[in-house]
Amino acid sequence: MIRKLVRQMLAAQILSALTVSLCLLIDNIMIGQFLGEDAIAAYGLANPVLLLIGALGSMLSAGVQVVCSRSLGMGSQEETNKGYSSAIGITLAISAFFMILVLLFRDPLANLMGAGRNPILYDNTRGYLAGFIIGAPASMGALILVPFLQMAGKSGLLIAAVLGMTAADIVFDLLSVLVFHGGMFGMGLASSLSYYVAMMIGGLYFLSKKCVFRFSRNYVTRAKILELLKGGVPSLFSMAASVILIFVMNQLILHSEGGSMAVAAFTVITTLGNSSNCISTGMNGVSLTLSGILYNEEDRNGLRDMLSYLLRTAAMLGVAMGILLFIFAPQLVSLFIKEAGDTRDMAVHGLRLFAPGLVFCCMTNALKGAYQASGRPILTGIISMAEGALLPILAGDVMGRIRGINGLWLYFLGGEVLMLLFIGVYVAVKTHRTPFSMENLLLLRPDFGVTADELLEKDIRSMDDVIDASVASGQFCREHGQPVRTANHIALCVEEMASNTVQHGFREGKNNALSIRIQHKDGRWVLRFRDDCGSFDPVSYVPTSDDIASGMGIRLVMKMADEVRYTYSMNLNNLTVIFREQPDKKGGAA
């Protein structure tokens, strides 16, 4: 089921990663086609500020994934609603503050970015900053809503929001350049308006009665906001590193033999590169969300299976995207730079040197998501800063001194190779083992989860599988010294809940699946049922029939169990049933 879930989530996560970069990509194409190379260079100089907006939104989005996946893993809908409400509240406050700040200080910001040396660059840079920053509440809000749409299983609505945003941006850009002649301010404003379109489309679900999340001002708490910020700090490091990287590389390139032409080429490379990196961002998002749930369930096997599949998928998608970038580099660059010449040649050459780094980047981000979800903020922060800024700047500077402007274009490939080598060395030193197994790469604690003899896992596809799982669970409990009564209760729970899912949830031709996991740890028997059928909450289930037998199995399980928790997330029903270990007749623990 893990692999099926990864496949379902990855496409939507990759598309959601385009919510920021897609508008920037379209803007850059329009700028190149209608406003020229000087305008592209101005966009490149404004880019660190734009990335900072994305950094704040990504930090909060990652915090949502960490905090809410944790609460979902624990089966607490109330804590999830607190995360939802607090995320909305803090996003509105931060985005409004940031918007006012940039509007008031866009002139000194343009100077700080290096645009003051050229009056045309200066006017274009400050104009784009003013237009784009108006959309800060929407662009940050869109990033926040993405993980909640994922958790609610509304990938289709997410795709519709991205497509609507893309179409709106193209229309608004064309109106700006052909009708209103708004220049760089108009291009930035067009992006802002398109983000609001995306928010309106995605927001339809959150305003409906079907929304599984509930907003309340009482749920907006200082403690939950701090928890969200703490959970998203590693992602803030990653995006802040991107801001530093673009700023430093812009300065290095401005003072190279390429000058402003090279800045324009670098802007094209980073724009196409950021759009291509939606794969690695999607990998990170899937890894972060699933790892958070699996870590809180202490599912060692699930984590290994997930990371192994993600790394293989990351390598394949990274190779495929790298090949496409390399082959079609001239055609892609010509979308931004119409006239043949040195600027276009530099951009094509730089993009082809950028392309191989995507493979290593995708794999690093899959690992980084797992480390962040497991509560390793220091390690994740180090990886984020090193991968996002320190190592690529080091690689670009060293190779630039050796090969000039052509060496600078190796910044991305060199940084990603060094990053993966660093992770391998760190894992080897930390575990005293080779970094080639999923167990070692995950850096799991020795006491994480349970040993194989304390765990029973079953996949259910039919009623025959239900009977087998029920018998196996009873035998499993008896082998661990539990009284017959407790073993029978657990076996009956498996039979009732699994048969109910198969009989009423499975649909012909849908290839539905149910996984059952029974874990014995710390004096408790924890049963987890997870299926991909329609939403059904057995905890709050109230039979509508007058038939006394209706729902009898569910009521029986609720009465026998010591604790029952239910959540619905990522199109999955997640039910946790807990039985406490029973003492033996002599008064000791069985």
Of residues 154 and 179, more confidently modeled:
179
Contact 477, 524 (CB under 8 A): no
Question: What one-character DSSP code corresponds to residue 582?
Answer: P
User: Is residue 352 a part of any domain in this protein?
Assistant: yes
Q: What's the pLDDT score for residue 20?
A: 58
CA dist list (Å): 68 to 142, 209, 538: 17, 21, 21
Maximum average pLDDT range among 403-407, 417-421, 435-439, 536-540 = 417-421
Residue position matching structure tokens 């304390």: 454
Of 100, 66, 101, the residue nearest 83 (C-alpha): 66
pLDDT at 110 > cutoff 50: yes
Maximum average pLDDT range among 424-433, 441-450, 476-485, 514-523 = 424-433
User: Is residue 449 a part of any domain in this protein?
Assistant: no
Q: Are residues 433 and 510 in the same domain?
A: no
CA atoms within 13 Å, Cβ hemisphere of 136 = 25
Q: What's the pLDDT score for residue 543?
A: 57
Cα–Cα dist 44/267, whole Å: 5
Residue 527 has φ and ψ, to the nearest 5°, of: -105, 125
Residue position matching structure tokens 């060395």: 425
Lowest mean pLDDT among 2-11, 211-220, 494-503: 2-11
Q: Are residues 287 and 356 in the same domain?
A: yes
Quick one: 164 exposed, middle or buried, by C-beta within 10 A (0-12, 13-18, 19+)? middle
Q: Are residues 352 and 474 in the same domain?
A: no
Average per-residue pLDDT for the chain: 85
Q: What's the pLDDT score for residue 45?
A: 84
User: Is residue 589 a part of any domain in this protein?
Assistant: no
Quick one: 286 exposed, middle or buried, by C-beta within 10 A (0-12, 13-18, 19+)? buried
Residue 184 binned pLDDT confidence (cut-offs 50, 70, 90)? very high
pLDDT at 331 > cutoff 90: yes
Cα–Cα dist 590/586, whole Å: 9
pLDDT at 115 > cutoff 90: no
Cα–Cα dist 155/16, whole Å: 9
Question: What one-character DSSP code corresponds to residue 587?
Answer: S
Cα–Cα dist 341/451, whole Å: 64
Q: Which of 418, 442, 466 is the last residue of a domain?
A: 442
Tell me: the pLDDT tens digits for 195-242? 899 889 988 888 888 888 889 999 999 999 998 888 777 667 777 787
Cα–Cα dist 455/521, whole Å: 9
- The 3-state DSSP class for residue 326 equals helix
Mean pLDDT, range 133-149, rounded to an integer: 87
CA atoms within 13 Å, Cβ hemisphere of 385 = 8
Q: Which helix (H) or strand (E) holds 529?
A: strand 524-531
Q: What's the pLDDT score for residue 322?
A: 93
Of 448, 491, 521, 112, the residue nearest 291 (C-alpha): 448
Rg of the chain taking only CA atoms, in angstroms: 26
Tell me which amino acid residue 207 is: L
Q: What's the pLDDT score for residue 240?
A: 77
pLDDT at 300 > cutoff 50: yes
Q: Name the domain count of the chain.
A: 2
User: Is residue 585 a part of any domain in this protein?
Assistant: no
* Residues pairing with 458 in the sheet: 516
Q: What's the pLDDT score for residue 587?
A: 43
- The 3-state DSSP class for residue 486 equals helix
Q: Which of 442, 465, 485 is the last residue of a domain?
A: 442
Cα–Cα dist 405/399, whole Å: 9
Q: Are residues 416 and 543 in the same domain?
A: no
Query: Residue 541's domain is classified under what CATH number?
Result: 3.30.565.10
Q: Are residues 213 and 277 in the same domain?
A: yes
Q: Are residues 45 and 172 in the same domain?
A: yes
Contact 305, 2 (CB under 8 A): yes
pTM above 0.75, yes or no: no
Residue 18 binned pLDDT confidence (cut-offs 50, 70, 90)? low
User: Is residue 367 a part of any domain in this protein?
Assistant: yes
Q: Are residues 405 and 494 in the same domain?
A: no
- The 3-state DSSP class for residue 578 equals strand
User: Is residue 587 a part of any domain in this protein?
Assistant: no
The full DSSP string for 358-403 is HHHHHHHHHHHHHHHHTT-HHHHHHHHHIIIIIHHHHHHHHHHHHH
The full DSSP string for 534-577 is S---STT----SS-TTTTHHHHHHHHH-SEEEEEEETTEEEEEE
Q: Which long-range contacts (CB under 8 A, 24 or more apart) does 118-121 make?
A: 118/38, 118/260, 120/38, 120/42, 121/38, 121/41, 121/42, 121/45, 121/260
Cα–Cα dist 195/147, whole Å: 17
Q: Are residues 402 and 544 in the same domain?
A: no
- The 3-state DSSP class for residue 122 equals helix
pLDDT at 541 > cutoff 70: no
* Residues pairing with 574 in the sheet: 530, 567
252: which residues sit within 8 A by CB, 6+ positions away?
396, 397, 400, 408
pLDDT at 393 > cutoff 90: yes
Cα–Cα dist 320/306, whole Å: 21
- The 3-state DSSP class for residue 455 equals strand
Cα–Cα dist 422/417, whole Å: 9
pLDDT at 590 > cutoff 50: no
Residue 338 has φ and ψ, to the nearest 5°, of: -70, -45
User: Is residue 588 a part of any domain in this protein?
Assistant: no
Cα–Cα dist 187/189, whole Å: 5
Cα–Cα dist 462/499, whole Å: 9
pLDDT at 406 > cutoff 70: yes
Cα–Cα dist 269/277, whole Å: 12
Maximum average pLDDT range among 124-138, 198-212, 260-274 = 124-138
Sign of CA dihedral 568, 572, 573, 575: negative
Mean pLDDT, range 113-120, rounded to an integer: 82
Cα–Cα dist 350/261, whole Å: 13
Could you tell me the two tokens for 146? 């993405």
Q: Are residues 67 and 187 in the same domain?
A: yes
CA atoms within 13 Å, Cβ hemisphere of 587 = 0
Q: Are residues 431 and 331 in the same domain?
A: yes
> 50 lies in which domain range?
2-442
User: Is residue 188 a part of any domain in this protein?
Assistant: yes
Of 106, 114, 91, the residue nearest 41 (C-alpha): 114
Q: Are residues 381 and 505 in the same domain?
A: no
Lowest mean pLDDT among 3-12, 83-92, 310-319, 475-484: 3-12
Tell me which amino acid residue 435 is: P
Residue 518 has φ and ψ, to the nearest 5°, of: -115, 120
Cα–Cα dist 46/109, whole Å: 9
Q: Are residues 232 and 326 in the same domain?
A: yes
Could you tell me the two tokens for 571? 């199109």
44: which residues sit within 8 A by CB, 6+ positions away?
246, 250, 263, 264, 266, 267, 270
Of residues 551 and 520, more confidently modeled:
520
Of 140, 385, 353, the residue nearest 244 (C-alpha): 385
Q: Which of 420, 442, 464 is the last residue of a domain?
A: 442
Beta strands 455-460 and 514-521, pairing class: antiparallel
